[in-house]
Amino acid sequence: MASAHELEALAIDIAREAAELAHRRRTEGVAIAATKSSIADIVTEADREVEDLIRGRLAAERPDDGFLGEESGAESGASGITWVVDPIDGTVNYAYGIPAYAVSIAAVRGEPVPDRWEGLAGAVCNPVSGELFHASAGGGAWLGDERLAVNEPVSAAGALLGTGFGYDPATHAGDLARVARVMPLARDLRRIGAASLDLCFVAAGRLDGYFERGLNPWDHAAGALLVTEAGGRFARAELTDDPGRPLFVAAGPTLFGGLFAAAVGS
């Protein structure tokens, strides 16, 4: 059985190679290959090619593990470990040339269902900035070789918060009402466009907190481990008015309770 540290090293190695490929394809030009759940939800040829690279490397190096990827679906394994992969998180940024996108790779133990899995290792690599965030269970959260810690406590001027909006236009009114409830806690709000990076930014103290409804497992699997290993809290809540699309909140311990309550609306 590989240690969490060994899984982290593999995630880092594959994330670097995958990020280089994504970046190379970006410099060659991007074509939108298809739209998915809505017109805003796009996939490029690079998303698929990068996921194929990651999946191929994991199959070669960890043949008994399961796989859950955004573009190519799920396959269960025999080892109890599943790799949860977003080949390009921030695809709309990628398509528009905004330098905030990342490859996100996590190894989890248990059923590959958020809340029921235990995060073991994760790596999130933004090839444009060259930043590689990584963590392992019990081993801390890191940006390269710098150890990360969430902001604690938050400045009296208010919290710098991040959020995101789902692709389904029907959900926008609820998301905007949530922003209005949360703003009294905030000094300002960011919408970076890549959930994995939002979570890594909470871990790094670049954001005080983050909330978003309706994330997919691959959006948060690695970033959530970064947050908790950096001393923060990460949780999800089912919303009565939007079942099946839970709300996710991440922040340092002092901010977390108030942010969670404001975001849920309780």
Size of site (CB under 6 A) for ligand IPD: 15
Report the 10 Å Cβ neighbour count for 97.
10
Nearer to Ca ion (CB atom), residue 93 or residue 151: 93
Nearest approach, Cβ of residue 221 and ligand IPD (Å): 12
d(CA 236, CA 242): 13
90 binds ligand IPD (CB under 6 A): yes
103 binds ligand IPD (CB under 6 A): no
Pairing mode, if any, of strands 159-163 and 146-147? unpaired
Report the interface residues with Ca ion, using CB under 5 A: 70, 86, 88, 91
Classified as helix, coil or strand, 150 is coil
193 binds ligand IPD (CB under 6 A): yes
Pairing mode, if any, of strands 131-136 and 81-89? unpaired
71 binds ligand IPD (CB under 6 A): no
Q: Which two tokens stand for residue 71?
A: 């573009």
State whether the Cα torsion 119-120-126-131 is positive or negative: positive
44 binds ligand IPD (CB under 6 A): no
Given ligand IPD, Ca ion, none, residue 90, with its beta carbon under 5 to 8 Å by kind, binds: ligand IPD
Each residue 143-182 as x (binds ligand IPD by CB under 6 A) or -, in order, gives ---------------------xxx----------------
First and final CA of the chain: distance in angstroms? 43
219 binds ligand IPD (CB under 6 A): yes
Given Ca ion, ligand IPD, none, residue 217, with its beta carbon under 5 to 8 Å by kind, binds: none
Nearest approach, Cβ of residue 35 and Ca ion (Å): 13
Contacts of 213 by beta carbon, 8 Å cutoff, 6+ apart: 166, 171, 174, 175, 178, 239, 242, 245, 246, 247, 248
Nearest approach, Cβ of residue 1 and ligand IPD (Å): 31
Nearest approach, Cβ of residue 161 and ligand IPD (Å): 14
222 binds ligand IPD (CB under 6 A): no
Stretch that binds ligand IPD, among 50-58, 122-130, 170-178, 187-195 (CB under 6 A): 187-195
Nearest approach, Cβ of residue 9 and ligand IPD (Å): 24
Asked if residues 204 and 148 have their Cβ atoms less than 8 Å apart, the reply is yes
Burial of 29 (0-12, 13-18, 19+ CB in 10 A): exposed
Considering only 11, 108, 215, 259, the residue that binds ligand IPD (CB under 6 A) is: 215
CA 89 to each of CA 49, 55, 103: distance values in angstroms, whole numbers, following the listed order: 14, 16, 6
Tell me which residues touch ligand IPD (CB under 6 A).
70, 86, 89-91, 164-166, 193-195, 212, 215-216, 219
